[in-house]
Every structure is written in structure tokens, then in C-alpha cells.
Amino acid sequence: MKLHIETTINGEPAEYLCEPHETLLSVLRNGVGLTGTKEGCSTGDCGACSVLLDGRLVPSCLVLAPEAQGRTVTTIEGLARGDRLHPLQQKFLEHAALQCGICTPGFIVAAAALLDKNPNPTETEVRYWLAGNLCRCTGYDKIIKAVLDSSAQLQKAAV
């Protein structure tokens, strides 16, 4: 018996029907058609399904779709503002911080959550914050540089 859930996704009111045991990841991808959030493991170990739930970074594969009732969900599709990319999206491109790109949405959402909380992180802080996002192509080097460069740019912009 499907449930009718009313929530907010990327700043827009949204509603969907879901099975009670369906995950938020499944609803985002198959119900609402936002396929930017990716599935790598469904056990909360790879980070490719990272979204913000009420501003908190979570693995959407371990959130039940009904839990989003009355809450706000932010996905990769919600980070660009109009025609301007989020600074992280721009820096990931400039630093070639992605190769196959399957982990990139998860990394950018997670890094955005980091910079919201800690605008000027050290390399070690970035690496430990992003330890839940697996990448098999890049060896992480350029990802970490892209995030550090983004925080530097945000600092300049904030001054």
C-alpha cells in the first residue's frame, strides 16, 4: 500500500508515492526522476548516494522514502544556481577532479556540506570528512585539491 509523501527537493515542493520500505535513493532516481544521485553499494559505504536531509549529509540508500515527509532534501541537481555552477562544480572541472564521474555528485554534495560547516578546512580535515566517498579512478589527489581551492575562493569572495 503506497504512501503519499510531501517534501521539499532542491528548494521546490515535491510529492511522491512510495512503498513504505522503499529508500529515498530509489524514490529520487525512479520516482522523481533525479538520477544525479547514484547507487554504488546500498550499504552506506560508498557515498555515491549522498544527499542533504534538512542540511545534514546522509546516505540516501539508508533513509526510507517516507522519512522525507515534511523535510528538505538537497541533491546534486540542486547545487548550481540558475546558470552558474556551484564553486565546487567549477573547481572539480578545472582540476580534472573526476574521471568516470560516477562518484562526483556524491563528492560534490559532501564537500558542499563540509564547506558550509567549515569554510577553511585543512587537507587532513577534507580527507577525513570525505572518507565516506569512495573513488576508484582518481586516487583522491585532484579531488582534495579542488575542494581546498574552492574553500580558498569562497574565503576570497566572503572577505
Partner 1 sequence: MAYHFRMPAIRYEAPRSVAEAVRLIQTDPGARVLAGGTDLLVQFHAGLRQPTAFVDIKRIPELVGVSLDANGLRLGAATAAAVVCEHPDVRALWPGVVDAVHLIGSTQIQGRGTVGGNLCNGSPAADSTCALIVNRADCVIAGPKGERVVAVENFCIAPGKTVLETGEFLVAVRLPRPAPRTADAYLRLIPRTEMDIAVAGAAVSITLDGSGMCTAARVAIGAVAPTALLVPEAAKALVGSRLEDDALARAAAAASVAAKPIDDKRGTVAYRKSVAGVLVKRAAKIAAGRAKGH
Partner 2 sequence: MSERVFKYIGTRPIRHDGVDKVTGRANYGADLTLPGMLHGAVLRSPHAHARIVSIDTSAAEAVAGIKAIVTGKDFPETTAKLALGEAAIDLHDIADNVIARTKVLYGGHAVAAVAATNPDAAREALSKINVVYDVLKPVLTVDQATAPNAPILHDAMVTKGVKDAKGPTNVAARMELKRGDVEKGFAEADVVVEREYRTPTVHQGYIEPHACVARFGEDGRAVVWCSTQGPFAVRDQVAAIVGIDPALVKVIPSEIGGGFGGKIVVYLEPLAVALSRKAQRPVKMVMSRDEVFKASGPTSGTKIRVKIGAKRDGTVTAASASLYYEAGAYRGSPAGAGMACAYAPYKFPNFFIEAFDVVVNKPKVAAYRAPGSPMASFAVESTLDEIARELRLDAVDLRLKNAAAEGDHAPYGPAYGPIGVKTILDAVKNHPHWSAPLGRNQGRGLALGFWFNGGMNSSATVLLNPDGSAAVITGNPDIGGTRAAQALMVSEELGIPVERVRPIVADTDTSGMTDVTGGSRVCYATGMAVINAARDVREQLRARAAKIWDVDVESIKWEDGQAIPPPGVEKAPHPLGVADIGAKMAHTGGPIVGRASLYAPMAGPGFGAHICDLEVDPETGRTTILRYTAFQDVGKAVHPSYVEGQIQGGAAQGIGWALNEEYVYNPSGLMENAGFLDYRMPVASDLPMIETVLIEVANPLHPYGVRGVGEVPIVPPLAAVANAVRQATGIRFTELPLSPPRVLAGIEQASRQPVGVS
**CB under 8 Å to 58, separation ≥6 — which residues?**
50, 51, 52
Number of neighbouring beta carbons within 10 Å of residue 3: 14
Task: Map residue 94 onto helix, strand or coil.
Answer: helix
Residue 29 cell numbers, joined: 532516481
Q: Which does 142 bind (CB under 5 to 8 A by kind): partner 1, partner 2, none?
A: partner 2
Do the Cβ atoms of 129 and 121 come closer than 8 Å? yes
Site of interaction with partner 1 (CB under 8 A): 1, 3, 19-21, 23, 42-45, 47, 50, 53, 56-59, 61-64, 66-67, 69, 110, 113-114, 128-133
Stretch that binds partner 2, among 42-50, 63-71, 114-122, 150-158 (CB under 8 A): 42-50
Bridge-partner residues for 74, per DSSP? 52
Residue 59 cell numbers, joined: 546516505
Stretch that binds partner 2, among 52-60, 64-72, 119-127, 149-157 (CB under 8 A): 119-127
Footprint on this chain of partner 2 (rule: CB under 8 A)? 19, 29-30, 33-43, 45-46, 48, 75-77, 79-80, 85, 88-89, 92-96, 98-105, 108, 123-124, 126-128, 130-145
